Structure 1
Amino acid sequence: MKAVILAGGLGTRGRPFTDYCPKAMIPIEGRPLVDHITRYICKFSFISEIVVVCEFDSFGNQIINYFEGKEKILGRKIRFIEDKKNGTGGALFQCREFLRDESSFLVWYADNLCAIDLDDLRNKFELADSEKKENVNIGMVITRSKRHEETGRVLVNGQCQDNVYMVRSFIEKPQINLEYPEAVGIYLFTQQIFCELLYYTKLHSSQSFDLSADILSNIKFDEQKKLYSYDIENTQKEWIDIESPASVDRNRVRIKTILNQMIE
């Protein structure tokens, strides 16, 4: 199975750092974010190759140059595909030729840090995929059903006077249960996803689109066309979206936990 790391994009949330470096190169514990992700994925024996989608300009070349000579260390071939700024859907669509022989493949957004057990993910996916072969299985999306808030929360009474409430209690950075599980930017797709991408390009005559907003959000999932969810909350694995160097500073404890889980 090949793993695709989407490391393109404008990185607007990471400015001013991303005015000079791609977000995938945000330093964490002395190594770029994309290095932590790649090393972790390569720990799993069923991963045969890493495909990194990034710009081929001065920004993307920072990623390409960083991995020069590291294939022997990682024990996997690293292939680079140019991100032509066509959105996340367009970036994945550009990988179609290189993934044509893969029945399924991993897709990992390069701003997500998580020690998800890929062996367990693959096993659960294969079990779900084997249940009804006549149905179309698009893949599996990794989700979380709880979120750690970065700010405090207050409970107030129901009465308001001139926009002023009486505070009943203050909760510092609580963990909340989400009404709907949140997608964390890691997917396991089958070749069916390319059918959806191709259909979009023909329908809209465009090679530029977003994987979530334009593709997944507009598919009608039912018994005939399925997408499964794998919730990391049941695995006790932490996850974080690395927005910027400032977010690294704010979440050092959680990041340290994730890095420790990655080397266990």
Structure 2
Amino acid sequence: MKGVILAAGIGKRMRPVTDVVPKPMVPIVNRPVLEHVTRGLVAAGVEELLVVVNYREEQIREYFGDGSRFGARITYLHQENPAGGTGAAALLGEEFVGDQPFVLTFGDLMLTPSNYADLVQGFRQNPGAGRITVNWIEDPSAGAAVTIGEKERMVKIVEKPPKGTAESNWNNSGIFVWTPAIFDAIRRVPLSPRGELELTAAIQLLADETGKVTVYQLHGLWSDVGNPAKVLELNRTILSDASLGVPVERGTYPSAVIDANCAVAPDAELGRCEIHDFTCVAAGACVQDGAVLRSCVLLPGAEVGAGCRLENAIVTPGARVPDGQTHQGTPEQPAVIL
């Protein structure tokens, strides 16, 4: 089975981090979120991937290459107009997938990895027109509310229902298995009031016409990686709960004090410093003597000078915090150092 990953968006809510990196390259526990997606798909047997790119795409292409080091075969496709809607983005995969079922997913999602295999296996055991994923949330007004009927059949999907009007708390999670019938449905739906082709409208059309769109309820972790605060939150969640199944790599640094709930990549550079409270230090990052980090994220190539104090902070690739500086954000409003 092939897979299509939509990774072309600008990521406005993730600014200022996305002023220097595309959102799919923002790391969660030291791996780009797109790498988590890719590894989950490969483990599910989805090894031939099309990655739809645009914004700062050279970073994605350089990091993933042909996909071989992740066990995948990756092809890239440049999307000229990322603002055309989710349906327009999905249509770009039509030639790539041919006449076979395929996985479609957004490239900025974090979930318990075994969900990918469960989704694919469920479709193979009970094939239909498609299978969508859902997660339970208190308020689906910012997503798409999904009503589920008998035998896991999808009855209704409503994009961004006004607060208090949703018929269900099940939210469209953004990972799907489709047959190529979805492409015809996308072409037949009218443009939304925003002038976009909405994937949810095509999903509803396909469900109404076939009655064979089913629903898989995700287990464990699900989150979009929407803004800087979500990066800190996800690191804390994953490092607090190994049962979520998200892999974490840790190096050994005898000269540093590192809490067990932190993740420092094996090829970072640490002096006699302190790393506390769910801090993540990526490959190629450097923390010098006397620095103290709490609830921070250092992206590849970031450098924290001697004697610095950082809390609830994100240091972007190549950025350097000069010796002795203090930066203190909050979990809701992290300090971002460019």
Q: TM-score, normalised by structure 1?
A: 0.71
- The answer as to 2:95 corresponding to 1:97 is yes
Amino acid at match of 2:75: R
Instruction: Say which of 180, 189, 192 aligns to 2:181.
Output: 192
Look up the match of 1:247: 230
Q: Which has the higher contact order (CA 8 A, sep 6+)?
A: 1
Match 2:218 to one of 232, 237, 248? 232
Change (3 A) 1:181 1:260: closer
The residue number in structure 2 matching 1:2 is: 2
- 1:147: how far off? 5.4
Amino acid at match of 1:89: G
2:251 aligns to what?
none
Distance in 1 between residues matched to 2:121 and 2:46, nearest whole Å = 14
2:207 is paired with a residue of what secondary structure?
A: coil
**What amino acid is aligned across from residue 189 of structure 1 in structure 2?**
W
Distance in 2 (alpha carbons) for counterparts of 1:222 and 1:199: 13
Q: CA RMSD in A?
A: 2.7
Alignment partner of 1:125 is 2:153: no
2:130 counterpart SS class: strand
TM-score, with normalisation over the residues of structure 2?
A: 0.57
Residues 123 and 50 of structure 1, relative CA distance in 2, 3 Å threshold: same
CA distance in 1, matches of 2:68, 2:174: 28
Contact 2:8/2:79 (8 A) holds in 1:
yes
Letter in 1 for 2:58: N
- Alignment partner, residue 53 of structure 2: 54
Question: 1:134 aligns to what?
Answer: none
For the 8 Å contact 1:40–1:262, the answer to whether it is kept is no
Q: Where do residues 62-211 of structure 1 align in structure 2 (5 Å cutoff)?
A: 62-68=59-65, 71-84=67-80, 85=82, 86-102=84-100, 104-114=101-111, 115-129=113-127, 137-146=128-137, 179-200=168-189, 208-211=196-199
Q: Distance in 2 between matches of 1:126 and 1:191?
A: 15
Match of 1:42, SS state, is helix
SS of equivalent residue, structure 1 residue 219: helix
Residue 260 (structure 1) shift = 5.2
Q: Tell me, in whole angstroms, the C-alpha distance in 2 between the residues paired with 1:121 and 1:36.
A: 16
User: 1:112, 1:261 → 2: CA distance?
Assistant: 15
Distance, in Å, in 1 between the alignment partners of 2:68 and 2:47 is 13
AA in 1 matched with 2:53: C
Change (3 A) 1:231 1:250: same
1:215 to 2:196 alignment:
no
Equivalenced residues, count: 214
1:100 offset after TM fit, Å? 0.7
What percentage of aligned pairs have identical amino acids? 29
Aligned structure 1 segments of 4 or more residues deviating by more than 6 angstroms: none
| Unmatched tracts of structure 2, length 5 or more | 140-166, 249-338
TM-aligned CA deviation for residue 117 of structure 1: 3.0
Using a 3 Å threshold, how does the CA distance of structure 1 residues 5 and 224 change in structure 2: closer, same or farther? closer
Q: Structure 1's 119 and 36: CA in aligned 2 closer, same or farther, altered over 3 A? A: closer
Greater share of residues in helix: 1
Q: Give the 3-state SS of the residue equivalent to 1:254 in structure 2.
A: helix
* Per-residue Cα deviation, 1:166-212 (whole angstroms, up to 9, x for no partner): xxxxxxxxxxxx94311111111111101112223xx66xx952323
Q: Partners in 2 of 1:113 and 1:97 — Cα distance? A: 27
